[in-house]
């Protein structure tokens, strides 16, 4: 079903019946991705006296409490409030939800015991394109990313100059299949976060970073329409559901 959409004074054709979901669902299971030394999320029925919120145990409805951390337990979108002294909500930062996005695949470069994504890899993959949103798939890519326990793995990360480059060319929404754009243990420097958001000098309040996505190999590199959906959490980050649509 072809749909004509106008975005940023540009008319594109997309098929809204063919969504490409690049989010990782939250599961109360060891199969859920984990980061930042957190335990498995929990989804449990409410218990009040003799009543348990579970239909199979006699209740009329299933009525669960969910305990999780947006940054540690799956796909999430964050604003600069993630690193600011003052409180800022991602729900206030993200006010529009459709963007033209470029999906790229990059192989981090091995430097000692670190794997780094340098500016040169990004510029080569973009090949002159300047997207509003960028979706970075790191190589090698496999489905283990959907259930990986990332703590103490020293994952790949963006070099500070790479994040600065993305900011300077006007990328407003950065999506990546890692727990963080920064390295796991960086003594709290958060260089890539700060460079991308231009924090603290002049924070880009309407820009976001989305982490822990998964871009299946069936999704080719190229131009897409991105629908970046978040839950309405009044928090620095929210669980999110980024969905791509191939531009026809």
DSSP secondary structure, 228-239, as one string: EEE---SSSEEE
pLDDT per residue as tens digits for the range 156-182 = 999 999 999 999 999 999 999 999 999
Q: Is the pLDDT of residue 30 over 90?
A: yes
pLDDT band, very low/low/confident/very high, at 8 (cuts 50, 70, 90): confident
Asked, as a colleague might, if the bond just before 140 is cis with ω within 30 of 0, I would say yes
Give strand ranges (E) for 107-236: 109-111, 114-117, 133-138, 157-158, 173-176, 208-211, 222-230
The CATH number that domain 2-26+70-246 falls under is 3.50.30.50
| pLDDT above 90 (res 1) | no
Domain regions of the chain by residue span: 2-26+70-246
Using a pLDDT cut of 90, give the percent of the chain over it: 98
Q: What residues have CB less than 8 Å from 162, skipping those under 6 apart? A: 117, 118, 119, 121, 122, 192
Summary mean pLDDT of the chain: 97
Tell me the whole-structure pTM to 2 decimals. 0.97
* 99 sits in which H/E element: strand 98-106
């Amino acid at each position: 079903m072809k749909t004509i959409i106008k975005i940023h004074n540009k008319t594109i054709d997309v098929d809204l019946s063919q969504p490409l979901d690049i989010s990782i669902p939250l599961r109360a299971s060891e199969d859920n991705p984990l980061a930042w030394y957190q335990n498995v999320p929990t989804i449990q029925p409410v218990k009040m006296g003799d009543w348990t919120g579970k239909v199979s145990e006699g209740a009329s409805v299933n009525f669960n409490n969910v305990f999780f951390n947006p940054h540690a337990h799956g796909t999430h979108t964050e604003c600069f409030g993630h690193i600011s002294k003052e409180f800022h909500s991602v729900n206030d930062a993200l006010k529009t939800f459709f963007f033209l996005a470029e999906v790229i695949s990059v192989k981090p470069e091995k430097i000692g015991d670190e794997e780094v994504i340098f500016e040169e890899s990004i510029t080569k993959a973009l090949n002159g394109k300047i997207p509003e949103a960028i979706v970075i798939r790191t190589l090698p890519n496999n489905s283990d990313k959907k259930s990986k326990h990332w703590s103490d793995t020293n994952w790949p990360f963006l070099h500070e100059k790479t994040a600065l480059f993305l900011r300077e060319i006007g990328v407003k929404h950065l999506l990546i299949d890692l727990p963080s754009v920064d390295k796991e243990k960086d003594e709290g420097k958060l260089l890539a976060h700060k460079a991308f958001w231009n924090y603290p000098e002049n924070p880009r309040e309407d820009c976001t970073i989305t982490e822990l996505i998964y871009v299946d190999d069936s999704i080719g590199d190229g131009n897409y329409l991105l629908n970046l959906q978040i839950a309405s959490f009044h928090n620095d980050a929210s669980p999110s559901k980024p969905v791509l649509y191939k531009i026809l």
